[in-house]
Amino acid sequence: MQMSTYGLPQFSMRFVPIWRRNFLVWKKLAPASILGNIADPLITLIAFGYGLGSLLQHVDGIPYIHYLASGSICMSIMMASSFEALYSAFSRMHVQRTWDALLNAPLGLDDIVLAEMLWAATKSMFSGIAILGVMFFLGIGLHPHTLLVLPILFLIGATFASLGLVMNAVAKGYDFFTYYFTLLLTPMMFLSGVYFPTRQLPDWLQVVSDLLPLTAAVHLVRPLILGKWPAAPMTDLVILAVYCVIGFYVATILTRRRLLK
């Protein structure tokens, strides 16, 4: 079926088998995949939480390891979702030609892009659940509020998956993703309140920080893990939703231009 390059995404329930296909492939490597995704945040918690935490014991009246853990889970979701939407999706699209095979079936390209986005969000949420388990073991986040973190983790994953699929649509090779991680995601980690309060930043950087999706994610997740309520939940949810919707729309347009031209 012909479609306008810039038309709104057209979905059907046919994205479900594509999502399921990715899930079944992942199941074969699930333990290694989850372990790999929790290794970095676990090392961060131990190295910074206990190392730096011995010198900087409290931030805003919160034990530093609790402060760090409640921010680093958002960072971990961002990285896990981005990795899946970049390296794994690019492999299926360009190297393994899985997308070409799917397009020979009665499937639309928009369904494939939607399935990739939802799968990346799902996979990152699996990793987030594993990280929450580690946090519970350390005595962090043992509050009923923490249950509300799960749907937020999925939204965070979907947001960064959508942004990652934009990069995936224009990438010529794996090396291209290094720029995305180095120039966008890594600076965002240090500007979004993961390691320290954003009020420590210069005024102009605080303005930038307030517009970043990772900052919105931290604003939502940290209070819940600490047993409190977010200060401005609707604002932060809207920021994440705007990045997710616009990112997905741009990713759909660029993917159409690449594969259907």
Instruction: Note down pLDDT in tens along the chain; length 261 residues.
Output: 445 788 888 888 999 999 999 999 998 888 877 777 777 777 777 777 667 666 677 788 888 888 988 999 999 999 999 999 999 999 999 889 999 899 888 888 999 999 999 999 999 999 899 889 888 988 898 989 999 999 999 999 999 999 999 999 999 999 999 999 999 999 999 999 998 899 889 999 999 999 999 999 999 999 999 999 999 999 999 999 999 999 999 999 999 998 876
pLDDT at 49: 66
Q: Which residue has the tokens 């009020």?
A: 199
SS3 211: coil
Q: How far is CA 252 from CA 98, 195, 259, in A?
A: 17, 34, 11
- In angstroms, the CA 183 to CA 177 distance is 10
Report pTM. Answer: 0.92
Side chain identity at residue 6, one-letter code: Y
Residue 39 pLDDT: 77
**For the chain, how many residues are written?**
261
pLDDT of residue 8: 85
Question: Are 178 and 169 spatial neighbours (Cβ–Cβ below 8 Å)?
Answer: no
**Amino acid identity at 23:** F
